[in-house]
Amino acid sequence: MSVLSSQQIWALLDGPAPIVSDMVEASKQVQANGVDLTLASIESLTTGGRIGLTDEDRILADSMELTLNPEGYVHLEPGVYLARLNETVSLPPNVMALARPRSSMLRNGVSVHTAVWDAGYHGRSQVQVVVYNPAGFTVSKDARIVQMVFLTLESDTDSPYAGLYQGEAESKT
């Protein structure tokens, strides 16, 4: 397993099936070891959720989209939020991805939590934003909030992702 370099990422972006599309500004988003993903919208959680043994036991928390001010910013009080990303990720069967918060987020007392992007996943993902700063945090639409790092598998997976979130929010609204 190895991490893709910027040259390898550019090659996979320019191919017939780009691993990331719908970027706000690719020249600023492609980094030495990954791609910065940007904020499309942000929601606050309004109910509790549930996870059980099976998918049928899963109940996702309800959420409410927050309104941006006229300049395109929203102030977040301390708490947990869901952020929808602008970019569509389309992973081939030999590439998986992880994402980490950008250091500017951490330096402001904000973290971003993510799950694994399995080989074969495609969609416009959500990530969890947690504001720890007691003074809150202000963020704008299209801000770069996480860096996605791509890892190549030694061979194509025999079981690419086919879960509940396959194809999520692929058409921008």
Which DSSP state fits 56?
Answer: G
Q: Whole-prediction pTM value?
A: 0.93
pLDDT tens-place string over residues 74-98: 999 999 999 999 999 999 999 999 9
Beta bridge partners of 95: 152
CATH of 2-47+57-152, one of 2.70.40.10, 1.10.645.10, 3.20.20.450, 3.90.330.10: 2.70.40.10
Q: Is residue 145 within 8 Å of residue 112, measured between CB atoms? A: yes
Tokens of 91: 């992973």
Rounded Cα gap, residues 107 and 78, in angstroms: 15
Name the nearest CA neighbour of 37 among 124, 159, 109, 152: 124
Q: Which residue has the higher pLDDT, 15 or 118?
A: 118
Q: What is the mean pLDDT of residues 155-163?
A: 92
Q: What ranges in the chain are assigned the alpha helix state H?
A: 6-13, 26-29, 103-107
Name the nearest CA neighbour of 85 among 121, 26, 49, 128: 128
Rounded Cα gap, residues 26 and 83, in angstroms: 20
Q: What ranges in 30-157 are assigned the alpha helix state H?
A: 103-107
Tell me how crowded residue 92 is: count the other CB atoms within 10 A of its CB. Answer: 19
pLDDT tens-place string over residues 115-146: 999 999 999 999 999 999 999 999 999 999 99
| Residue boundaries of the structural domains of the chain | 2-47+57-152
Instruction: Give residue 150's pLDDT.
Output: 97
Which DSSP state fits 53?
Answer: S
